[in-house]
């Protein structure tokens, strides 16, 4: 009997040790995965290919995917990214600007919008990442004082960035991902009426920047900006 219990005790100890090792490996992997995602979200290697940073003669040699339709910069924030546009709105959810797999994805223009930003209402999406990476900085715009002090930006259109627009951020709010008033580009009239009810002008073109408010919610943080002729 003693031998039996000794064998059972050995099995128990080995089983618990194996469980402990597996749990430790899971924790290590989770930590690595978190670091990896953040590291990729913070990758700014593409900045050297920003249209106003490279010679026009070599712009076509940029490794950034040909799906790039522009570049968005919001001054005094971390938002300084190429804008991609896929055939659908899922194409660049998990692809970086080089067309490589990345959980942090890319900043991308709604597939229904004109790539030259000529529509009266355009939507740009980006993942909400920590420390203001990608569109993680948009949450700050729900604070009116932050909005007023960080309301300027720039939009370069095309791979060569020869067309340049100013951006003037004027309003921020939260909305459900299924709110067609905000997320249907062909129903901008309803959105414009809503903005006018808030006492805001809807003259000219409007750009919407959208990101998740949290990982487990359909709530989106949306920030609106006027596209200004320079």
Q: Which of 136, 123, 119 is nearest to 77 (CA)?
A: 136
113: left (phi > 0), else alpha (psi -120 to 50), else beta?
beta
38, part of any domain: no
Q: What does the alpha-carbon distance between residue 127 and residue 34 come to, in Å, rounded to a whole number?
A: 15
CATH of the domain at 60: 2.40.260.10
Residue with token string 């597939």: 111
Q: Which of 24, 66, 67, 64 is nearest to 45 (CA)?
A: 64
93, part of any domain: yes
6, part of any domain: no
More confident residue, 173 or 162: 173
141, part of any domain: yes
Residue 11's pLDDT is what?
65
Q: Is the pLDDT of residue 52 over 80?
A: no
Report percent pLDDT > 70 for the chain.
77
176, part of any domain: yes
Residue 82's pLDDT is what?
96
Catalytic annotation present for 208:
no
More confident residue, 58 or 167: 167
Tally of structural domains, the chain: 1
CB atoms within 10 A of CB 54: 16
Give the active site residue among 124, 212, 222, 223. Answer: 212
CB atoms within 10 A of CB 194: 14
146, part of any domain: yes
118, part of any domain: yes
Q: Which of 60, 73, 67, 140 is nearest to 105 (CA)?
A: 67
Q: Write down the pTM of the prediction.
A: 0.80
Domain with 58, as residue range(s), is: 45-229
Q: What does the alpha-carbon distance between residue 193 and residue 96 come to, in Å, rounded to a whole number?
A: 36
Please compute the mean of the pLDDT values over residues 19-45 and round it to a whole number. 47
**Contacts with 176 (C-beta within 8 Å, 6 or more apart), sequence order:** 218, 219, 220
15, part of any domain: no
On whether the CB atoms of residues 106 and 169 are closer than 8 A, the answer is: no
CB-based burial, 101-117: b 16+ in 10 Å, e otherwise? ebebbbbbbbbebebeb
Q: What does the alpha-carbon distance between residue 13 and residue 18 come to, in Å, rounded to a whole number?
A: 9
On whether the CB atoms of residues 82 and 71 are closer than 8 A, the answer is: yes
């Amino acid at each position: 009997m003693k031998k039996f219990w000794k064998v059972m005790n050995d099995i128990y100890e080995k089983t618990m040790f194996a469980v402990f090792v597996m749990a430790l490996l899971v924790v290590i992997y989770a930590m690595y995965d978190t670091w990896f995602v953040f590291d990729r979200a913070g990758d700014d290697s593409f900045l050297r290919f920003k249209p106003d940073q490279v010679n026009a003669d070599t712009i076509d040699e940029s490794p950034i995917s040909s799906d790039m339709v522009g570049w968005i910069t919001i001054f005094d924030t971390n938002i300084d990214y190429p804008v991609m546009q896929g055939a659908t709105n899922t194409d660049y959810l998990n692809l970086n600007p080089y067309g490589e797999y990345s959980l942090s994805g890319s900043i991308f223009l709604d597939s229904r919008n004109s790539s030259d930003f000529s529509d009266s209402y355009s939507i740009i999406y980006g993942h909400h990442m920590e420390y203001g990476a990608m569109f993680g900085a948009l949450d700050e715009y729900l604070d009116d004082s932050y909005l007023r002090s960080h309301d300027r930006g720039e939009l370069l259109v095309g791979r060569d960035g020869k067309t340049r627009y100013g951006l003037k951020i004027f309003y921020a709010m939260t909305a459900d991902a299924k709110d067609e008033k905000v997320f249907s580009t062909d129903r901008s009239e309803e959105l414009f009426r809503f903005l006018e009810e808030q006492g805001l002008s809807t003259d000219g073109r409007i750009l919407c920047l959208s990101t998740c408010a949290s990982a487990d919610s359909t709530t989106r943080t949306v920030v609106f900006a006027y596209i200004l002729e320079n």
